[in-house]
């Protein structure tokens, strides 16, 4: 018996794919299939040339943050440095907005009932916060800072004990930055157990998935996106992010970059998302290879219903 479904647009450059299906009675009924993504760019990533992040116990001594309640029941993040930042205290996570460094935060929780602000008589004794330094963010590089330290629940204040700083390199048009970070046997780069990961910094994403087992359960998506891909010999790794036109433009404006959605795609952006895909292959006895793909995906058929 022959397959009753026939693709009618093989080789077509149209954004949508139409199919025809033969019913049992012999009549052909047209159906509308999901549109194919439009690939707008591809790029190679030279992993070995990316900067390697290093940790220090000296740089973080003056860094701190505070969480403050406001009269309307919301709160703010106060920083001693100007960062586009992600703060984690136990299960609580918050992001600040754009410049200046004191902005209303948005609580990012994957639980149905968000946890309370971790301040009071008792609470977690540790905190971490990380982000992009606004004064050192350009089209070519972005200084990424990560602090780990103590959290005082009474003062609602975190103080850094160690700091990781790296000038992440732009790997695609000031919209995706990347660096390498050692995660195992860091004191012995030649040791068989030495391991690194590839860290990606990108615009805020509506949806993100990766081969890193930590990402699906607790994705780092807020004022910006952060995805880490383990570089393990004999394995591959990948990440995919869906970004709106507004989040792409806001992110690249802060970097001073010139790329905008209208430069990538001529049609209306309201019902479309930019799909940012990174794929890494780490052979056993060869240098690792990585490549990126940028596509435009249509989500809503009727653009009048799309979220602006």
191 by Cβ neighbours in 10 Å (0-12 / 13-18 / 19+) ranks as exposed
SS3 state at 303: helix
Is the pTM higher than 0.85?
no
Rounded CA gap, 201 and 232, in Å? Answer: 20
pLDDT tens digits, residue range 243-274?
988 888 888 888 877 667 777 766 656 678 89
pLDDT tens digits, residue range 12-34?
333 444 444 444 555 666 555 55
Domain locations in the chain?
5-35, 40-305
Structure tokens at 165: 């700083």
pLDDT tens digits, residue range 173-215?
999 999 999 999 998 988 989 999 999 999 989 889 999 887 7
Structure tokens at 49: 């040339």
Q: What is the mean pLDDT of the chain?
A: 78
What are the beta bridge partners of residue 136? none
Rounded CA gap, 16 and 37, in Å? Answer: 9
Rounded CA gap, 295 and 286, in Å? Answer: 29
Angle at 89 between CA 86 and CA 91, to 5 degrees: 100
Rounded CA gap, 224 and 296, in Å? Answer: 19
Give me the helices (H) in the chain, please.
245-255, 261-264
89 by Cβ neighbours in 10 Å (0-12 / 13-18 / 19+) ranks as buried
pLDDT tens digits, residue range 133-163?
988 999 999 999 999 999 999 998 999 999 9
Over the range 28-48, which residues count as b (16 or more CB within 10 Å of their CB) and which as e?
A: eeeeeeebbbbeeeeeebebe
pLDDT tens digits, residue range 89-104?
887 888 775 443 334 4
Residue 297 contacts residue 242 (beta carbons within 8 Å): yes
pLDDT of residue 78: 84
pLDDT of residue 60: 54
């Amino acid at each position: 018996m022959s397959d009753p479904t026939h693709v009618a647009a093989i080789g077509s450059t149209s954004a949508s794919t139409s199919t025809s299906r033969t019913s049992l009675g012999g009549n052909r009924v047209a159906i509308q299939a999901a549109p194919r993504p439009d690939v707008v760019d591809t790029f190679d990533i030279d992993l070995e040339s990316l900067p390697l992040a290093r940790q220090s116990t000296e740089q973080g001594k003056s860094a701190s943050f505070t969480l403050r309640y406001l009269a309307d029941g919301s709160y703010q993040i106060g920083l001693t440095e100007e960062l586009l930042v992600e703060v984690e205290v136990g299960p609580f996570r918050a992001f600040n907005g754009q410049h200046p460094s004191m902005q209303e935060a948005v609580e990012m929780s994957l639980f149905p009932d968000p946890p309370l602000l971790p301040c009071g008589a008792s609470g977690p004794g540790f905190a971490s916060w990380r982000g992009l330094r606004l004064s050192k963010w350009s089209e070519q590089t972005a200084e990424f800072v990560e602090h780990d330290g103590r959290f005082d629940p009474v003062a609602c204040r975190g103080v850094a004990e160690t700091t990781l700083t790296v000038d992440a390199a732009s790997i695609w048009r000031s919209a995706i930055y990347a660096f390498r970070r050692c995660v195992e046997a860091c004191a012995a780069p030649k040791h068989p157990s030495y391991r690194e990961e590839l860290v990606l910094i990108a615009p805020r994403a509506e949806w993100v998935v990766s081969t890193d087992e930590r990402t699906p359960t607790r994705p780092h998506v807020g004022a910006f996106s952060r995805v880490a891909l383990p570089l393990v010999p004999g394995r591959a790794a990948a990440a995919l992010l869906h970004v709106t036109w507004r989040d792409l433009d806001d992110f690249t404006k802060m970097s001073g970059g010139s790329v905008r959605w209208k430069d990538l795609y001529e049609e209306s952006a309201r019902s479309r998302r930019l799909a940012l895909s990174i794929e890494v292959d780490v052979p056993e006895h060869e240098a690792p290879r990585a490549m990126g793909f940028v596509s435009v995906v249509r989500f809503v058929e009727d653009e009048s219903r799309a979220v602006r």
